[in-house]
Amino acid sequence: MIYVISQIFSTLALIIFCLSMWQKDRTRLIKLQCIEPAAQIVAQVLLGGWSGVYANAVSLLRNFLCLKGVRNVINFAFIGIAFTWFLLFIDHSLISMFPVFASVVYSIGLLRGKTVTSIAAISILTSLFWLVYNIYLINIAAIINNIITLTNTFMVIYRNRKPAASKKQDMTPDTEQGCMS
């Protein structure tokens, strides 16, 4: 029964993440991505995936800081401290470190990405890290989540591509907010 509940929370996280990628501005994307890690934390706790719990907690805090407009230097310092703590205190198998790698890579992408498309592009790499980790945990819903996330992300990138100079809409309405300050 615990496994089934974990799969429900992983599925909920999938839905929230996919919805976040279809947003047209960074602020709405980040708001939804403040909810998604919470669902993943519950699923990871139920599965005993402690590095996944840790990485999602870091992601939750990072997303909240971005939403509140915390400056890049503070956010990078937080990420560095979080990664160092992880290296010192968590199981050191390579696969167990994948969620933290994904969190750090996505944090950098979120800090540097000025458009929804650029943020979506970095999520391809992070989804691959999570996919390997979830295969290791045998987290079926999360594996499906990662595959759908990859497919969804490619669709978002395709939708947001700028064909020639005819498309004048820039997908950067909130670059002065969030982590870009």
pLDDT of residue 174: 37
Tens of pLDDT along the chain (181 residues)? 999 999 899 889 889 988 887 887 878 888 888 899 999 999 989 988 887 888 888 888 878 887 877 656 566 666 666 666 666 656 567 787 788 788 778 877 777 777 778 888 888 999 999 999 889 888 888 898 889 889 988 888 888 776 644 444 444 433 333 343 3
Asked whether residue 151 is assigned to any structural domain, the reply reads yes
DSSP-assigned letters across all residues of 78-122? HHHHHHHHHHHHS---HHHHHHHHHHHHHHHHHHH--SHHHHHHH
Boundaries of domain holding 122:
2-159+175-180
Asked whether residue 97 is assigned to any structural domain, the reply reads yes
pLDDT of residue 74: 60
Asked whether residue 166 is assigned to any structural domain, the reply reads no
Asked whether residue 146 is assigned to any structural domain, the reply reads yes
pLDDT of residue 92: 64
Asked whether residue 165 is assigned to any structural domain, the reply reads no
pLDDT of residue 172: 42
**Backbone angle region of 120, left / alpha / beta, with phi > 0 → left and psi within -120 to 50 → alpha:** alpha
Indicate the number of domains in the chain.
Answer: 1
pLDDT of residue 83: 66
pLDDT of residue 66: 78
Asked whether residue 69 is assigned to any structural domain, the reply reads yes
* Length reported for the chain: 181
Asked whether residue 52 is assigned to any structural domain, the reply reads yes
Asked whether residue 164 is assigned to any structural domain, the reply reads no
d(CA 70, CA 60): 14
